[in-house]
Structures are given as C-alpha cells and as structure tokens.
Amino acid sequence: MSYTMFSAFEFKRKDTYIHNLDPRTKMFMTLIFMTVALLFTSIVPLLITFIATLIPVLLAKSVKEWLSSLKGTTMLLVFILVINSFVRDLNFAVAMVLRLIVLITAFSAFFLTTHPDDLAQALIQMKVPFDFAFALSMATRYVPTLAREAQTIMDAQMSRGLELQRGGLTQKIRNLIPLIIPLIVNSVRRAMSIAESLESRAFGAIKKRTYLYQLKLTKGDFLFLCFLIMYFVTMIYLKFYFPFTTWMEWKLPL
C-alpha cells in the first residue's frame, strides 16, 4: 500500500515537450495554477482553471500517472466534499473539491515530469545552497528504498507471528516497536554507509563545486512562459475587473 502511494507522484522518464521544459519554468507554472485556483470559489471559473491545468498533463502524456495520484487522494476529496456541504452548501463543497483537484494536478504536472536531479540543479541555480539541494535530491532518491525496507520489516515480523491489529490501544502502540526499531537501526546503518561512499568520492572537497549539467531556458521555455503569463493576466482580469456574467455564477440545480 505504502509503496503505491509513493510511486503515484514518482517521476517517469518520457520524451515530451513538458518533460523537456526547464524545471524553473514548471515551478512557475505550478505557482500560477495554484494562485489562480485560490482566487476563485465558484464552480465555473474553477472548471476553466482545471481544464487549463490539464493541458500540461495531456501534453506530457501522463494521464494514467495523474489519475493514479488522484486516486491516492480520493479519501481526502470525499472528506472535503462532505465537511463543506455540511458547513456551507453543496455548491461550495463541489468548488472546493475542484480547487483541490487543480492543486493536485498542478503538483503532479510538476513532479511527474521533473527529474529530481534536475529539480536539485534548478534550486542550485536559484542560489539555494548545494548541501540543501543535495539533501533534497537524496531524500527523493531514497524514499522508495525506505518504503521497500519498511515493507520487508513488516513482512519479517509478521512471519514471527506479530499481529498489528491485536489488543487494545496501548498494545497496538506496543506492536509497532518491532517495526520501528529495525527501521531506525537500518536507516542509521544505511546513512553511515552512504556517508562513507560519499566521502570516498571527494564529497565536500571544496566550496565552489562545478556541475556537469547547466540548465538553460530554451525557446520552448519562453513560449510556454508566454502562454502562462497570458493565462494569468486573463484570469486576474476576470476576477477583479470583469463583472461576473450569470453563466460564470452558475450553480448546481438543486
């Protein structure tokens, strides 16, 4: 279970226009989609936003992966729908669900198409210190490894008769000890072993490190940025200067 959850947002290498965009362009894209989603609270404009957000997912040929990351959040979506229809009304609830879907889509469009190493490189070129960017890329690198390890530990202890669901609350918490201790011990051992290997490859030798790759904005990036800005300006205009016509305020026929 845990493994699929992680793999939903995992990068998959493909050769598409969106995959080949500079991570910084895509970062900007996600930021714009987020901002726009947060500007509106009614169904129609959020639907338009949603369609706009879907374009990069389609261009990236990642619909299947996007759907699986949405599937992972179904529970959350249902929860938001129910809570909001109680607190406000169904219209608002549907709008909020749409907003969340837009946010998830915007993030998937980034993470599904951006190589974690490229993300790290982008951060470095945005003047984030190397140590920080490197830690981030290491974290993404080892998340699946840790998830797999956690699964193996669980299997090993279940093979020794451990039943996680057994007993009352305190017993249930105690049931976790045989999982947590090996996980910690292994992570520490792994960290030592990784550190040893990094040291042996001259890690931290000098302050001013060089990089094999250098990210550069291309024509494709500028084109995409143009569209993004045009889209953003339109949406801002709609929000603040354009008096909402009736169809924009359309409500569910209840």
Partner 1 sequence: MIEVADLWFTYPEGTIALRGVSLRIGDGESIAIMGENGAGKTTLVKHFNGLLKPQKGTVLIDGVDTREVSVAKLAKKVGLVFQNPDHQLFSSTVEEEVMFALKNLGFTSEEIKERTNWVLKFLDLEKYRERSPLSLSGGERKRVALASVLCVKPKILVLDEPTIGQDAKQKRKLGELLKKYQEEGNTVIVVTHDVEFASKYFKRIVVMAKGKVIADGPPNKVLTNPTILNESSLTPPQVAILSYEIAKKINNFPKDIVLFNDLLQEVITRVKR
Partner 2 sequence: MVLIEIKNLSFTYANTEEPAIKNIDLTINEGEFVLLTGPSGCGKTTLCRCLNGLIPHFYNGEMEGDVIIDGLNTKEHPVYELAQKVGLVFQDPENQLVSLNVEKELAFAPENLGLPREEIRKRVEETLQLLKIEHLRHKAPYELSGGEQQRVAIASVLTLKPKILVLDEPTSNLDPKGAEQVLKTIKKLNEELNVTIILIEHRLDLILPYTSRVVLMDKGEIILDAPPYEAFCSSIPEEIGVDVPVSIKLYNELLKIGMKFNKVPLSTKDAAELLTEVLK
Residues that bind partner 1 (CB under 8 A): 1, 3-4, 7, 149, 152-153, 155-163, 177-178, 181-182, 185-186, 189
Nearer to partner 1, 117 or 149 (CB): 149
Spatial separation of the C-alpha atoms in residues 47 and 98, rounded to whole Å: 7
The rounded distance, in Å, linking the Cα atoms of 140 and 250 is 43
Please choose which of partner 2, partner 1, none residue 170 contacts, taking the beta carbon within 5 to 8 angstroms, the exact cut-off set by kind.
Answer: none
Position 151 contacts partner 2 (CB under 8 A): no
**Binding site partner of 163, from partner 1, partner 2, none, Cβ cut-off 5-8 A by kind:** partner 1
Q: State the virtual CA torsion across 60, 248, 103, 110 in degrees, nearest 10.
A: 30
**Of 173, 166, 229, 183, residue with least CA distance to 25:** 229
Query: Which residues are CB-neighbours of 28 under 8 A, at least 6 positions away?
Result: 225, 228
CB of 4 to partner 1, least distance (A): 4
Q: Taking Cα atoms as reference points, which of 109, 87, 127, 95 lies closest to residue 33?
A: 109
If the CB atoms of residues 74 and 214 are measured against partner 2, the closer one turns out to be: 214
CA quadruple 89, 94, 98, 99: dihedral, nearest 10: 0
Map residues 199-228 to x or -, x wherever contact with partner 2 holds by CB under 8 A.
Answer: xxxxxxxx-xxxxxxx--------------
Binding of partner 2 by 132 (CB under 8 A): no
Interface ranges with partner 2 (CB under 8 A): 11, 13, 115-117, 137-138, 140-141, 144-145, 190, 193-206, 208-214
